[in-house]
């Protein structure tokens, strides 16, 4: 089964390949993520602090958070040979947990940024 087929079978939508990069979403309203060479990545339009990122990663060791172009980026590497179906379930859980956290990070920043 190809990555694209596995994503569709797992219920992801908008699955498209452009060269070596696969794009998909966890639902019609969800943000788009990419997969390239077993590396899943999703950006959130909020800049989590280092302490927030470290706390989140302690609670979710399968995912890594960094800052890319001013946004918080969630990354998960799925090694070759790992059960793809199980890996996609982990990715889905990580994206949903990070989305919830991103909302709280954004709300905490409102007083700082005058929102």
Q: Please report, for the chain, the start and end positions of each structural domain, with discontinuous segments joined by +.
A: 3-109
Q: Is 112's pLDDT higher than 60?
A: no
pLDDT band at 111 (very low <50, low <70, confident <90, very high): low
| pLDDT-derived band at 95, boundaries 50, 70, 90 | very high
Mean pLDDT of 28-32: 93
Tell me the fold of 3-109: Yope Regulator; Chain: A, (3.30.1460)
- The C-alpha atoms of residue 33 and residue 43 are separated, in whole angstroms, by 7
The reported pLDDT for the residue numbered 70 is 94
User: Using CA atoms in the order 100, 102, 106, 107, what is the torsion angle rounded to 10 degrees?
Assistant: 20
pLDDT digits (tens, 9 = 90+) for 55-88: 999 999 999 999 999 999 999 999 988 999 999 9
């Amino acid at each position: 089964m190809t990555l694209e087929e596995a994503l569709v079978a797992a219920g992801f939508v908008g699955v498209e390949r452009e060269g070596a990069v696969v794009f998909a979403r966890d639902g019609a309203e969800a943000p788009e993520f990419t997969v390239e060479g077993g590396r899943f990545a999703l950006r959130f339009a909020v800049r989590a602090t280092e302490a927030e990122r470290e706390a989140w990663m302690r609670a979710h060791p399968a995912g890594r958070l960094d800052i890319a172009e001013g946004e918080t980026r969630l990354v998960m590497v799925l090694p070759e040979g790992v059960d793809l179906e199980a890996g996609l379930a982990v990715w889905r859980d990580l994206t949903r947990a990070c989305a919830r956290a991103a909302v709280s990070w954004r709300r905490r920043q409102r007083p700082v940024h005058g929102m």
